[in-house]
Structure 1
Amino acid sequence: MRPKVYLFGDSITEESFGDGGWGASLARHFSRTVDVVVRGYSGYNTRWAVKVLERVFPGCQDGCGEAAPPLAVTVFFGANDACLPDRCSGFQHVPLEEYKHNLRSIVSFLKKQWPTTRIILITPPPIDEEGRLEFPYIENPLNQPERTNEAAGAFAKACVSVARESGLPVIDLWTKMQQFPDWQKANLRDGLHLTPRGNRRVFEEVVAKLRDEGLSLESLPVDLPLISDIDPNDPLKAFHQ
């Protein structure tokens, strides 16, 4: 069977297999080498993610779960943890220190389950507060954004901190996205979720980070012979090699 790459996160991961989504782009990129498996849960924060780990990644903790461990897992949480506690989505808020603790718990679980699997943390994206007011998810009587870019930035820094202390690669999406002109509308369609261009940027960052970890089209074998390897005069020969 082909090796797997799991995408674990909230709605930005759940939606990643939509038209032009970063997960769909990964699946196409690795179409002959790796199965890309989405495990995204809209609205989830790290508190809830920790509670469902064994259901998301079933199998015993001593490595006897799957026949082969996945090559990599992306962990992409924080956008919901960073909701402000006194705003309309306050029930999703997780305090910053708990967020860091929960990320460590997720990392610890995955390392214990699959010691050889690469784990890549991804920070929450920046927030366009005007966009959040324009596209509220639920009733917003205060007419104030339930997320702010400042709060998202604090959670992004916490994610980077956990990655460094754990010796893991990290994609600082909050910082990288703001390096582009008009990042608010170019990358975010509703102040939080990704536009096609935003999805493309996440895809490029993940591919680059996987390459840094030794996982690339050049390093991964294809699962069956390519058409270019099949001899027109003896087509079946390629399938016996």
Structure 2
Amino acid sequence: SIFAVAAVSASLGAAVPAASAGSAMADTTVTATRSFPKTTAAKRDFLAEHTSTDVESNADWGGIESLDVPQTESQAEKDRKAQEQAEAEARAQAQAAQAQAQTQAETQTASRSSERADISSVPTAPASATGQALADYALQFQGYPYVSGGNTPSGWDCSGFVQWVFAQFGVSLPHYSGAQMSVGTAVGSIAEAAPGDIIVNTQHAAIYIGNGMVINALNPAQGTQVTSLAVFSGGYAIRRVL
């Protein structure tokens, strides 16, 4: 009957236990295991697997094998080259200085030779011993050298020049400007001065040539030349000998 079937089904359901949630999760879990061989030797070349000793002959390296890498100089090489350059420049400067010194020496030798030639042809004083003749004669010595203490055409100082020129006219003068201030006779002013008079003070001596001008030996740089009376610092005396 219907009631008998229902009773049998109920008894069967009671006999089968219900599965718990934990059991269902346990049945779906996956477990994996792996074993590794035992190693007894120590590994010494840690980079072995990164090192390649085989190169393919037709490998394309993108042109890196033919790069032209410029070579740079070390600091020692730079220092050596700088020293060599400095030494070369020093040698060049020494050679230039030597050449210049030789040129100057040759020029001075030629100048002395010229001076000696000029001195050997010193003009002879005229027979007429007048002041104008003496002034004209003195003018022939423009450009002759100045030598301190000298009294010849090879070199004279201011008073030595005056002394030598007057000696060519038979007049003996002292070789000192201060002493020449007392020779001959005094002339009152420059307005009364005549060519051939001596213009002199304790510092300088010259021969008057007229128009406020004198010929005198100045210094080593300027030699003997014509100047104005402004060459005298302070006052001066005017002495007439001829």
TM-score bucket (shorter structure): under 0.3
Q: Which has the larger radius of gyration?
A: 2
Tell me the TM-score normalised to structure 2 length: 0.20
